[in-house]
């Protein structure tokens, strides 16, 4: 399976068939499809919160930059890495815009 680059204009949303619950500082996600539990902490849990409604990668990145002391380029790289991992595990859906990347 090849990994596609996720663009800033891609829309991302939490997949169906998941249950999520906060346990202290950690967010625990249960995939009802395969019965596997996943955990996110701190910034990962914040990103999950932002994914509850369809939103673009650029909007998530901008929200994180506004909330955390992080360099924009590093934030974008780390965000895409997490989103690739979540998508590979079937926890999110990534829908690329037909209009292409926004410059």
CB 17 within 8 A of CB 92: no
Q: How far is CA 96 from CA 53, 57, 77, 82, 103, in A?
A: 16, 10, 17, 17, 15
Distances (CA, A) of 103 to 9, 23, 57, 100: 9, 39, 13, 9
Closest CA relative to residue 49, chosen from 64, 66, 33, 65: 64
What pTM does this model have?
0.86
Q: Which tens digits make up the pLDDT trace of 3-58? A: 568 999 999 999 999 999 998 889 999 999 999 999 999 999 999 999 999 999 99
Ordered by start, the domain boundaries in the chain are: 11-15+42-95
């Amino acid at each position: 399976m090849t990994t596609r680059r996720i663009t800033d204009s891609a829309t991302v949303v939490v997949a169906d068939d998941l249950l999520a619950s906060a346990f202290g500082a950690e967010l625990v996600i249960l995939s009802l499809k395969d019965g596997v539990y996943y955990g996110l902490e701190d910034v990962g849990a914040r990103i999950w919160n932002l994914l509850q409604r369809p939103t673009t990668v650029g909007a998530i990145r901008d929200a994180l930059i506004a909330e955390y002391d992080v360099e924009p380029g590093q934030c974008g790289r780390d965000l895409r890495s997490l989103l690739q991992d979540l998508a590979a595990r079937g926890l999110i859906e990534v829908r690329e815009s037909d209009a292409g990347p926004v410059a």
